[in-house]
A = this chain, B = another copy of it.
Amino acid sequence: MPELRKDPIIGRWIIIATERAKRPHDFVVEQEKSQQQECVFCEGREKDIPPEIYSVRFNQSRANEPGWKVRVIPSLARLLQIEGDMGRRGKGMYDLINGIGAHEVIIESPEHHKNIAELSIEQITYVLDTYAKRMEDLKGDKRLKYVLICKNYKEAAGVGAIKHAHTQLIALPVNPKRVKEELVGALRYYEYRERCIFCDIIRQEIETNLRIVARIDGFIAFCPYASRFPFEVWILPEEHSCDFYTIKNTRGLAKIMKKIMSRLFEVLQDPPYNYVIHTAPFRRTTSSGFWKTITHDYHWHIEIMPRLTKVAGFELGSGFYINPTPPEEAALHLKGET
């Protein structure tokens, strides 16, 4: 019998279509043919793109020259601009803000790799350190509320013309809706139980051990109970922490990231995917109206979403997802236990 499962954090119901459960080989992953010849993100092409905002470099190499490990540049197709004021205003009953914010691209490797699974743990550590550093830096701009770190891999997941491994960063003067929903849900749970809902989820996942894919160095990866997508995986620090940018053990996170990305690559034959970091907003009003940093009720995490099925009208129009692979089965495949 199919099941309707409820996401414990935001309350969204999804259908797990148990009766026609899809296994890895049921998904046809289109392999991209065209090999990219020219790539402006490769080492040596620094002068052909905008100057760097930040980089990880050793051996005294100079900015905007070769010798880097990770580079951050302004997006070539900038969505938001950092100059100007917010100009929050109404138009009748509608509200708008000027498109103030930052839009950066994090180039994950000097070589032309495409998939994070191909990078060394050391290199992934540099990438994660860069995520944290950019967040911390942008936090200083009081107009900004949130930094969204998001990766699109392959065309089906919305990547643009440049295939060289890179991550998008958007700093926003508003909080994204999905994060707001999680904050509301997590706060409601905290007020009732006086515990972090994510910590409770981790405890239950460890106890039942039905959906865990890996536990490495204080990080846990599992397929969430009410996964929207087949083979969706979340990674969380086992110890409570609300702000991604305060992370100390990026090397541990790099290890589990490499493990999960490699397993997805193997099991699903290099699938398109998105991942996104959910972290607490920089600033938040409480019901009493004061600014406060969330410490107890929110828990940062990374959501990895392989893009194996087309998102149809149901999903977009109703927020109602249909997942043809039970997360328990997905976890078995990803652990290699099938």
Which residues of A are in contact with B by a Cβ distance under 8 Å? 1-6, 8, 10-13, 15-18, 20, 77, 79-81, 84, 91-99, 148, 150-152, 155-159, 168, 170, 172-174, 176-179, 181, 197, 200-201, 204, 207-208, 225-226, 274-276, 278, 303, 305, 309-314, 316-320, 322
Contact = CB atoms under 8 A, between A and B. Distances in A.
Closest 3 CB pairs of A and B: A158-B312, A276-B317, A2-B99
A94 B155 contact: no
Query: In the assembly, how many copies of this chain are there?
Result: 2
Contact of A313 (B11, B94, B201, B276): B276
A305 B319 contact: no
A331 to B, nearest CB: 15
A205 to B, nearest CB: 10
Nearest to A80: B2
Given A1-B84, A2-B99, A4-B99, A274 B12 contact: no
A201 B92 CA distance: 9
Given A8-B94, A99-B2, A311 B314 contact: no
Contact of A317 (B275, B309, B322): B275
B310 A156 contact: yes
Given A93-B201, A274-B313, A81 B173 contact: no
B312 A176 contact: no
A174 B99 CA distance: 37
Contacts of A319: 176-179, 181
